[in-house]
Every structure is written in structure tokens, then in C-alpha cells.
């Protein structure tokens, strides 16, 4: 009889434990953030900060899932895809982002995607035996950029302006990053512009020898975010917690990559291999070039507002820094940026 009582007690206790465990699991499930899928376009030869954060395992616990919708040739294509509703986040040059907002896009930049500093910058390469030695030698020549109307396009415009050369004195053509080296070495172009976000292609080009850098954008712009990530205000309003998680963890991925460059290269190589790209490109990866936590600052935006106003693309005072960018969703950012008009 005693054995039956003990058995019954054990069963009751195990049943209670099971019920408690199930209740705790249910509570944990209830406390977990509602999963939000954020769609984006990948870039050939590159692993973005959100992709890096995801690979580190930092997004899933926050209820954020990334979903690639294919590959983008450049920022304007990504902005168009976001405007059409095909993706939820787009990395594009600040100049292109401002132009999109000026033309009615209800978007805002939430973090840096790539930047320029002394070590990580966009370089304009010519062959060693090229007659191009100084700015005036560019007149009548062809310069390849990744896409028209984006960062490298505007850097060329600024370089020409600062050297008193008419904008139409050179010809710009769009060439994808993986094809730049072949296009330059075969003589189809005179100058190959390799963006700061394309350091894997710059490293590969320099490794092959026979080329030299004519100038770089750090000489023109100094330290600056060249490409922010933007999202629609509607998406941000609908999913503020997911946006904050994505931005904050991506910023932490930028910090981790800067502090652990060799580990970052190894991870980038594995991620490239997983999508059937050349993992050896990661050997030439130089960094993201962004500030701590991938935060934005006023100079990142104001510089290009001034350029676009000077060109006549914007009316004076038409847009402010706060109309373009915010650090409000980056928990680690210390710079809050100038506020949007009326806020």
C-alpha cells in the first residue's frame, strides 16, 4: 500500500512539474518578440552589416528574420525596389537617398551602411602606363562607376568641380564590381572607380599589379558615411521594435568587425561561399568604414544637402538633416542628430 502511495505522489509531483514547465514555456513564448521578416537585396562580393549580425546569431533572438530578394547593382535600384514594396530596407548613397526624399519618398535613413575614412575609401584606378596623371588629363576620358546617380557618380562631379573641369568633359559608364578589373585591363575604360564598400575588388585589382590610384574620395570628403540604410516611415511605425533590434545589432556587428578584422574576414569568406561566390575575396576585405555603432552624424547629411543645393537639385532649405536621417532606433548611438522640422 505504501508503495502505491509513493508512486501516486511521484506521479502527482511529476505532473505538477510538467504543468509548471509548460506554463513557463508558454510564458516565455508569450514574452518572445513577434517575428518580423525584413526583406533586402544582397550585393555581389559583399556581406552587409545586417547579414553579418544575422550570421553572428544576434537577430533571431530579437524576433528579426532577414530575407534576401536577390542582388542589387547599386543603391538607386535598391531604393526603387523599396519604393515598389519589394523590400523593406535599402542601402544607397546619401546623395541618392536625399534625391529620393526630395521626390516624395517617405523614407528615413536609420544607420550607416558603409563609410569613408583614411583606411577604407573609394579609389579611382588607372593602368600604370596610363597618360592620366593629373585632373586635366581626365578630359575626354571614360570612367566606370558601379551605378549612375549614386556615390561614385557624385564623387566624380565633386572632383571635377574642385578642379574647374566641366562635368560633361568626362564620360561615365556603369560597370558591375566583379567586371571592373577586366574592363580596365582590356582598355574598354580609362578609369575604374571602386567604391569603399567594394574593397574586395580593389584588393584583387591591386594584387594583380600594373595599376595605380589616381585619387580617392577621402581626399575630397574626409571621414563621412557614404551610404546609409533607409526604411519607409510606414514600416518603422508598424515595427519599431524590430527596426531598433536590426539597427542596434547591425551597429554592434560593425564594432565587432572593426575589433576582430581577421575573424570578420573568415566569417565573410564562409558567407560568400554559402551563396556560391568566391570566398577568397574576403582576404581583401578592409572594413565597413563606418563610425562606432554605425551611427550617423550631421556632417554625413549636411555635406550632400549643400552639394545638391549648389547644383540646383534642391532649393535652399528645402530639406533638413532631420528630414533625411535619425539615430533614434540605434540604442548605442550617442549622437541624436538635428531634429526634423517641428520636432
For residues 271 and 46, is the Cβ–Cβ distance under 8 A?
no
Q: Residue 72 has which C-alpha cell?
A: 542589387
- In tens, the pLDDT along 105-143 reads 999 999 999 999 999 999 999 999 999 999 999 999 999
> Is pLDDT above 60 for 16?
no
3-state SS, residue 329: coil
- In tens, the pLDDT along 143-159 reads 999 888 888 999 999 99
Nearest CA to 108 out of 317, 314, 310, 296 is that of 296
For residues 173 and 143, is the Cβ–Cβ distance under 8 A?
yes
Measured distance CA(116)–CA(127) in Å, rounded:
24
Residue 2 binned pLDDT confidence (cut-offs 50, 70, 90): very low
For residues 68 and 37, is the Cβ–Cβ distance under 8 A?
no
Residue 342 binned pLDDT confidence (cut-offs 50, 70, 90): very low
> Is pLDDT above 80 for 19?
no
> Is pLDDT above 50 for 60?
yes
**Superfamily per CATH, domain 123-221:** Periplasmic binding protein-like II (3.40.190.10)
Measured distance CA(238)–CA(312) in Å, rounded:
35
3-state SS, residue 67: strand
- In tens, the pLDDT along 265-315 reads 999 999 999 999 999 999 999 999 999 999 999 999 999 999 999 989 999
For residues 329 and 248, is the Cβ–Cβ distance under 8 A?
yes
Give the single-character DSSP code of 325: B
For residues 89 and 82, is the Cβ–Cβ distance under 8 A?
yes
Residue 32 confidence (pLDDT)? 57
Query: Average model confidence (pLDDT) for the chain?
Result: 89
Residue 11 confidence (pLDDT)? 40
In CATH terms, is domain 36-115+223-324 a member of 3.30.930.10? Answer: no
Residue 25 confidence (pLDDT)? 46
pTM for the full model?
Answer: 0.81
For residues 128 and 197, is the Cβ–Cβ distance under 8 A?
no
Question: Quick one: which H or E segment has residue 113?
Answer: strand 107-116
Comma-separated ranges of CATH 3.40.190.10 domains in the chain:
36-115+223-324, 123-221
Amino acid at each position: 500500500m505504501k508503495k502505491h502511495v509513493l508512486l501516486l505522489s511521484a506521479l502527482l509531483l511529476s505532473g505538477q512539474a510538467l504543468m509548471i514547465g509548460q506554463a513557463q514555456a508558454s510564458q516565455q513564448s508569450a514574452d518572445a518578440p513577434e517575428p518580423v521578416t525584413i526583406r533586402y537585396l544582397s550585393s555581389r562580393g559583399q556581406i552587409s552589416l545586417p547579414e553579418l549580425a544575422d550570421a553572428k546569431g544576434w537577430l533571431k533572438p530579437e524576433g528579426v528574420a532577414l530575407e534576401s530578394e536577390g542582388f542589387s547593382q547599386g543603391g538607386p535600384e535598391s531604393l526603387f525596389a523599396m519604393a515598389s514594396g519589394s523590400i523593406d530596407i535599402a542601402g544607397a548613397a546619401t546623395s541618392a537617398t536625399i534625391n529620393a526624399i526630395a521626390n516624395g519618398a517617405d523614407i528615413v535613413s536609420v544607420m550607416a551602411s558603409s563609410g569613408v575614412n583614411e583606411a577604407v575609401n573609394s579609389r579611382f584606378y588607372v593602368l600604370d602606363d596610363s597618360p592620366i596623371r593629373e585632373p586635366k588629363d581626365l578630359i575626354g576620358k571614360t570612367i566606370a562607376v558601379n551605378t549612375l546617380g549614386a556615390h561614385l557618380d557624385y564623387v566624380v562631379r565633386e572632383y571635377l568641380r574642385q578642379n574647374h573641369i566641366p562635368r560633361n568633359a568626362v564620360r561615365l559608364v556603369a560597370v558591375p564590381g566583379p567586371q571592373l578589373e577586366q574592363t580596365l585591363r582590356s582598355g574598354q575604360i580609362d578609369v575604374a572607380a571602386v567604391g569603399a564598400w567594394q574593397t574586395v575588388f580593389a584588393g584583387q585589382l591591386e594584387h594583380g599589379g600594373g595599376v595605380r590610384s589616381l585619387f580617392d574620395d577621402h581626399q575630397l570628403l574626409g571621414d563621412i558615411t557614404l551610404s546609409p540604410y533607409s526604411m519607409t516611415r510606414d514600416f518603422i511605425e508598424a515595427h519599431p521594435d524590430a527596426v531598433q533590434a536590426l539597427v542596434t545589432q547591425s551597429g554592434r556587428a560593425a564594432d565587432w568587425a572593426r575589433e576582430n578584422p581577421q575573424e570578420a574576414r573568415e566569417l565573410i569568406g564562409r558567407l560568400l561561399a554559402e551563396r556560391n561566390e568566391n570566398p577568397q575575396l574576403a582576404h581583401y576585405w578592409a572594413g565597413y568604414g563606418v563610425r562606432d555603432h554605425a551611427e550617423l552624424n550631421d556632417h554625413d547629411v549636411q555635406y550632400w544637402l549643400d552639394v545638391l543645393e549648389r547644383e540646383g537639385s534642391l532649393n535652399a532649405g528645402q530639406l533638413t538633416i532631420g528630414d533625411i536621417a535619425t539615430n533614434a532606433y540605434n540604442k548605442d548611438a550617442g549622437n541624436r542628430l538635428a531634429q526634423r522640422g517641428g520636432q
